[in-house]
Amino acid sequence: MWVLLSQSMMQLERQDVITGTGRDQSWRSDTKDSLDLLYKTPSTDTQKDLFNRDYCLHHVLKVINLAPDTGKRDALDSGKTLRKRRGKRRKGQQLQQDPGRGDRRLGPMGCPTCPYALCFLSALSLLLLVTSSSAPSTLHGPTDLRASHLKMDQALLFIHNELRNEKLDVFWCSDQCNQCTYQPLVSRVKENGSTAVDAKHSLTLQLNQTSGTGELCRVHYRFREFGNYSLWVKVNASDNGKVTCAITIDQNPDYSYLPILIAFLVFLGISFFYLLGSCVLRIDAVRNFLCKKMHPIETDRLINSELGTPSGPGVYSHEGTWNISSNAHNRLRSLDTFRGLALTIMVFVNYGGGGYWFFKHQSWNGLTLADLVFPWFVFIMGTSIYLSLNSMLRKGDSRWKLFGKVLWRSSQLFLIGLFVINENYCHGPLSWSELRIMGVLQRLSLTYLAVSALELLFAKPAHDHPETCTWLLLQDVVVFWPQWLVILALEATWLCLTFLLPVPDCPKGYLGPGGIGDFGKFPNCTGGAAGYIDRILLGEGHIYQHPTSNVIYKTTMPYDPEGILGTINSVVIAFLGLQAGKIYIFYKNRHKQVLGRFFIWSVFLGVVSAILTKCSTNDGFIPVNKNLWSLSYVTTLSCFAFFLLLVIYFLVDVKNVWSGVPFYYPGMNSILVYVGHEIFANYFPFSWKMQDVQSHGEHLAQNLLATSIWVLISYILYKKKIFWKI
């Protein structure tokens, strides 16, 4: 036993912690310190402790992940057992990594994520479900009153008419509705009446006499969810008999944002305990203890059967050899994290966002959280296009061959999009006359095809670009001036079609929603030229029938937010993402240059947006509008995208203080997660019949649970190395 164990230790001491060839200077010092601690053995250690510590080091090495932007690193060695204590070192051979385990990495603070991320996501889902669902749906007043009168985001208004022999007609208009006509709320109120009112936005109430003698008064008020209010209409005798209107609170409203607060605290609490556990696991004694407990049988078997000798000189072998894959480690982790963040938010808002209006798409002009994610996804797709095509061109691949792959992938995306948005399985067979043609994946496929073709047509591999003083500051822009000319021509086309194309019964350059907007002058002009082009080329039956504008603006015309004209600006935002990819390549490993250019682009696009919108929602030259994919929408969302990418790149790829978890996992399997969440939206456990449909709490719990499940699924698939790529 002693002889074999000594031979084992002598073989192990021939290896070095970091080999001399190809040493990476960016290797984190905390990893080396943690490994050095494993070698510090008191003189009273037993033989089994020595071997356990070495076996533990073997498993620590198996889960070490290399930084994504440093390429292949020299692996760590587990030698230095006997000679380490005498202060002698020898250079050894490099460890090879198991091909099937090359993607494991350390989590935050340098701790293994394999078992802990799974527990983290599972506990998160369970706690969100329990806490949000158990949150009180109403804090004041009897629930039967609310159940009998109100729906979600509504309040109850009692109208008290103290005018003698006069009946009242009450009209309303939401602040969210720009230049809208007043809509009837309740008619012919003689003495007392009641009605439900919208609690999402501030309202203006207009009271008229039923007899038609004119307006009596107006009241501007912000109602709160499930509150009870009284509107008193009376004659003020001290003011020459002028009619006055006043609103009082009969029953305090609920705090409808309580479920969000609970969910936030759950996220915060679990994150805190996760990081605390990570810090504890950095302690050497704890890591040794856990490593021994994780594989006690295998450790004892190796010692007792005297099989501790490596299989070859200078090579630590256990269950095969290790090969380091440089492809996985060269991948920019920040890109997948950014994509996963956008996709996770997209899943959440598509599932309902807890029923909150700010988690849904804006009715027309302006932005909500739901309006951010699709352009971000398009932006990061453009970044990935450049990184992918540049790599293939550098390898010498034919441009025509690459274009064939791009065309095939675009066709697949388009067909998958058709299948996803035209399910209709609950309403019988789908009619060809009602087949929707455009959609999210269809927009992505056309954008991908256009931007990739533009890149293949004019691009050169990055290493072919001269780095002289002339090109140094703007080389990532000047070299690609033909591409910029094409993009400017495309944007000029969008502007000309939008503002100069004649649309029947509509003014030129109309950007409004139609319906009751613009005081009802253009009810059938929804979307202006964009809507008109879709109706002419696709047909009214083949475009989206329920646009967001019909909720507030009462529109009746179909309108597709992923229509043909908006695809032009989708190409523009993808090209700006392509520009981010050029910055990554041209200034590779020069982090200050990358961060500085991201910041400059963000500021520049922000200034352009401020000019186009005049820093207002509705009064600018070109308002920010997701339905139109307006120019200001493109510049604003690109501004946000550059800044967000700057932050994520700094945290994930530069400082390595965040691994991108949990957003990294759905970002690695984006097509599968998107298609899956669309197909299984109405299946358990992603949705169920709610006990309280008026409660934001249960809606939020359901939507957060469904989103967490998809993140968990993407994590499991990542660990099993299952990726859906087309």
Catalytically active residues are 361
Residues whose CB falls within 8 Å of the CB of residue 446, separated by 6 or more in sequence, listed in order: 410, 414, 567, 570
Three-class SS state of 244: strand
Residue reference for tokens 């501030």:
202
Query: Considering only CA atoms, which of 531, 389, 377, 535 is closest in space to residue 457?
Result: 389
Which residues, in sequence order, are bridge partners of residue 217? 207
Measured distance CA(535)–CA(98) in Å, rounded: 57
The DSSP H or E segment spanning 155 is strand 154-161
Which residues, in sequence order, are bridge partners of residue 218? 206
Instruction: Judge whether 218 and 206 are in contact, CB under 8 Å.
Output: yes
Three-class SS state of 587: coil
- Inter-residue long-range contacts of 414-420, CB under 8 Å, 24+ positions, other chains counted: 414/441, 414/442, 414/445, 414/446, 416/441, 416/671, 416/675, 416/726, 417/441, 417/442, 417/444, 417/445, 418/442, 420/675, 420/678, 420/679
Three-class SS state of 466: coil
How does DSSP classify residue 525?
-
SS3 assignment for 634-681 = HHHHHHHHHHHHHHHHHHHHHCCCCCCCCCHHHHHCHHHHHHHHHHCC
* CA 571 to each of CA 386, 492, 532, 566, 716: distance values in angstroms, whole numbers, following the listed order: 14, 13, 20, 9, 33
Residue reference for tokens 């192990």:
12
SS3 assignment for 411-453 = HHHHHHHHHHHCCCCCCCCCCHHHCCCCCHHHHHHHHHHHHHH
Instruction: Find the angle CA(114)-CA(118)-CA(122) to the nearest 5 degrees.
Output: 170
Instruction: Judge whether 331 and 103 are in contact, CB under 8 Å.
Output: no
User: 3-state DSSP helix/strand/coil percent for the chain, to nearest 5?
Assistant: 55, 10, 35
Query: Considering only CA atoms, which of 375, 502, 392 is closest in space to residue 447?
Result: 375
* CA 218 to each of CA 181, 228, 240, 268: distance values in angstroms, whole numbers, following the listed order: 14, 19, 18, 44
Measured distance CA(251)–CA(145) in Å, rounded: 11
Pairing of strands 215-221, 203-209: antiparallel
What are the structure tokens assigned to 458, written together? 């004019």
Q: How many CB atoms lie within 10 A of CB 427?
A: 9
One-character DSSP codes across 182-194: PEEEEEEESSEEE
Find the length of the chain.
Answer: 726
